[in-house]
Amino acid sequence: MANLLINGGKKLHGTIKTNSAKNSAVAILCATAMIKGKTTLNDVPRIEEVNRIIEILNSLGLKITWSGNHELEIYNDGHLFPEKINRESFIKTRSALLLMSALTSSFKNFSLPKAGGCKLGKRTVNPYVIALKYLGIKVKETNNAYNISYEKRKAASFTMYETSDTATENTIMAAIFTPGETKIRFASANYMVQDLIVFLKKAGAKIEWEGINNLKINGVKELRPVRNYPLMPDPIESMAFISLAITTKSNIKITNCPIDFLSLEIEKLKVMGQKFKISKSYKSSNGYFDVVDIEIIPSRLRALPDKIHPQPYPGLNIDNLPLFVPILTQAEGSTLVHDWIYENRAIYYIELSRLGADIMLHDPHRVTVTGPSELKPNEIVCPPALRPSINILICMLAAKGQSILRNSYSIDRGYEDLYNRLNKLGADITILDR
């Protein structure tokens, strides 16, 4: 947990590469609890969220070590111990709930602690519970734990209660070892789900897309280890750098951007008057995703004429929506931002008013951002949520003068070596202490 001293108002320049996806990393790591033998992953981001998942899996009995700067070796000898799970690490990350299904490959009855993660209001596990029930798996919630059990798994055809990313991943992992054919309608097709499916198919899972949001899974008896699987680049990190470049009116090239998960965001920005230079597409390291390089050209922006809101893929990404807020502070006019997914995330947006942004909060889901605003320095404590925290950092970098951002753990959960990488672009960020 660090405090940051930021001397803002500087024009940034240069090239920055998009790192691998946090949400892919945590899902694929949890999936290794289902795979006996040695699996190796490449391009793994060295971030706090990944560190928590590694601590949890090591406590279960997996042996996970860094074999290189971004390479992980995961060895699973088949002897796992849910009763020894690292509770302190578990309650810090909601991603650990992916073990609900992963551990059913080894146990018919076990318990998991209540998970944490970003503080974004009430976050129900109903989509997990309802989907797993179709497959014969029961999840009983108590004050401090989830008790997971089943007698006999059964294949089924059903519709997801919500097109939730993590619930879809959980359901996929449960269906892999369920005999017969399972069909899942209204499944999330978001980037981390697609990356997980590519990985699991390399491990021997039989998973097929039937249209954008329908999945067919034929159960298998076992999965085989995967060697040297590179994780996909993170579209949310790409969007954070796009937001940073636009808000600071800087000329920055962002490489390794997974374009299929950014195309609507870029279209919205084009309507606002933003200019880009976008390269021809090439393949990601794992050979599955199309990526491009995006150069941001400083432009005069106008507010969107319509409200902006997230939708399941291929709509505007839920985690990219907050990153429009700093951009809108520099656009002429007013835009309504409707963050309907999370109860409280929009409340954190008004922290930017302490930096001179003109933001009106309507309710826990909606704000109106009016610009352009001259951003000013201040001292702020990071909220307990990743995307609102990176918003504050972006606006501090745009504000002329000296700002202090305290307790940066929320940012460190999702971004690797971020401050050094930004300093190489011309930012002036000093880590005061840890």
> Which is nearest to 100 in space by CA: 128, 121, 74?
128
Tokens representing 288 are 């599955």
As a whole number of Å, the end-to-end CA separation of the chain is 5
**pLDDT tens digits, residue range 384-413?**
999 999 999 999 999 999 999 999 999 999
Sign of CA dihedral 185, 189, 195, 196: negative
| Rounded average pLDDT over 65-93 | 94
Sign of CA dihedral 73, 24, 434, 393: positive
Residue 247 belongs to what domain range?
Answer: 3-19+233-433
Do 67 and 167 lie in a common domain? yes
Do 62 and 187 lie in a common domain? yes
Least confident span in 78-82, 122-126, 131-135, 236-240: 122-126
**pLDDT tens digits, residue range 310-327?**
999 999 999 999 999 999
Do 208 and 299 lie in a common domain? no
Predicted confidence band of residue 287 (pLDDT cuts 50, 70, 90): very high
- Residue 286, pLDDT above cutoff 80: yes
Taking the C-alpha atoms of residue 330 and residue 262, their distance in angstroms, rounded to an integer, is 21
Residue-level pLDDT at 144: 86
Residue-level pLDDT at 118: 52
Do 153 and 60 lie in a common domain? yes
Do 152 and 111 lie in a common domain? yes
Do 206 and 285 lie in a common domain? no
How does the average pLDDT of the chain come out, rounded? 95
CA atoms within 13 A on the CB side of 196: 30
- Among 200, 230, 260, the domain boundary falls at 230
Number of domains in the chain: 2
Residue-level pLDDT at 117: 52
In CATH, what number is assigned to the domain containing residue 427?
Answer: 3.65.10.10
**pLDDT tens digits, residue range 34-57?**
999 999 999 999 999 999 999 999
Tokens representing 53 are 């998942």
- DSSP code of residue 20: B
- Residue 120, pLDDT above cutoff 50: no
Do 211 and 237 lie in a common domain? no
- Among 195, 230, 265, the domain boundary falls at 230
Do 81 and 201 lie in a common domain? yes
- The proportion of the chain whose per-residue pLDDT surpasses 70, expressed as a percent, equals 98
Do 13 and 52 lie in a common domain? no
Residue-level pLDDT at 418: 97
Residue-level pLDDT at 123: 56
Alpha carbon of 91 to those of 27, 53, 82, 112: distances in Å? Answer: 16, 11, 15, 10
- Among 162, 197, 230, the domain boundary falls at 230
Cα maximum dimension of the chain: 63
Do 11 and 36 lie in a common domain? no
Residue-level pLDDT at 116: 58
Do 131 and 240 lie in a common domain? no
- The proportion of the chain whose per-residue pLDDT surpasses 90, expressed as a percent, equals 91
**pLDDT tens digits, residue range 122-136?**
557 899 999 999 999
Do 294 and 408 lie in a common domain? yes
- Residue 121, pLDDT above cutoff 60: no
Taking the C-alpha atoms of residue 395 and residue 8, their distance in angstroms, rounded to an integer, is 9
DSSP lists the bridge partners of residue 148 as 110, 139
Taking the C-alpha atoms of residue 372 and residue 273, their distance in angstroms, rounded to an integer, is 14
- Residue 375, pLDDT above cutoff 60: yes
